[in-house]
Amino acid sequence: MLPQNEALDILVEFLRFHGYTKVKGIDLETIRQLAAIVLKENVFVYGNKIYKQVLGGAMGSSFTLTLANIFMWKWQKELVRRQDMTGEFYGQYIDDIFMTWNKSEKSLKDLLDDGNKWHPNIKLEYKIGKSLPFLDVLFTNNNGILTTSVYHKPAAEPYVVPFLSDHPRHVFVNVIQTSLARAARYSSTFESFNNERRYIQLTLLYNG
């Protein structure tokens, strides 16, 4: 959860870092005050009592998501700096992080354990391996060569809109086109593309 005042300070720091003194004519202090209203003026009712949110922001708010990304920008600076020094890859999407590493596993664990001490509200849960998913992409280290393919969560069911259902015809075309486009974009080898193509074909057959 975002500490509200700290998050607002980081928001202003982020804007200054990128050269802003005003945004669309609004000065940074006013932006901070407006952001504070969005972040802090959230109340809810539970058990016939009214509560005010004092940590984090409203769920589903687009501003809360943006602020969380900016907060992570501040937190991950040191991690990105260390990755840049060694020419490694670092990627982050909201609260998911993917990074490559070519030193020992112990030194990686030491770095991540150290990162868990940088902020009391941010705790990393990490997985280390030669083949790991990031969102819906599976990254694999094949003897130093990074390959990618489509990742399907183990709990995912092979269901799509049945062909006999009463949907507009373009829906079925979109399902096939989107699945094949994703396979083409995510597959770094022809073999992985073919595997995903067969998976799509079997899924479509399974759904009639």
Contact criterion met (CB below 8 Å) for 163 and 208: yes
pLDDT above 80 (res 208): no
Q: CA 103: distance to chain centroid? A: 25
| Tens digit of each residue's pLDDT (9 = 90 or more) over 65-111 | 999 999 999 999 988 998 998 889 899 888 899 999 888 999 999 99
Query: Is 151 domain-assigned?
Result: no
Query: Quick check: 34 pLDDT over 80?
Result: yes
* Residue 42 is assigned to a structural domain of this protein: yes
Structure tokens at 206: 């399974």
CA dihedral for 189, 193, 199, 202, sign (positive or negative): negative
Smallest CA-to-CA distance from 8 within 63, 79, 80, 62 is with 63
62 within domain boundaries: yes
Residue 155 corresponds to which amino acid? A
Q: What angle do CA 14, 15, 20 make, to 5 degrees?
A: 150
* Position 177 pLDDT exceeds 80: yes
**Torsion angle defined by CA atoms of residues 160, 166, 170 and 176, in that order, rounded to the nearest 10 degrees:** 20
C-alpha Rg value of the chain to the nearest Å: 22
150 within domain boundaries: no
Range of the domain at 37: 4-74
Q: What average pLDDT does the chain have?
A: 91
Report the predicted TM-score, pTM, of the whole model to 2 decimal places: 0.73
Q: CB of 4 within 8 A of CB of 40?
A: yes
Q: Say how many domains are in the chain.
A: 1
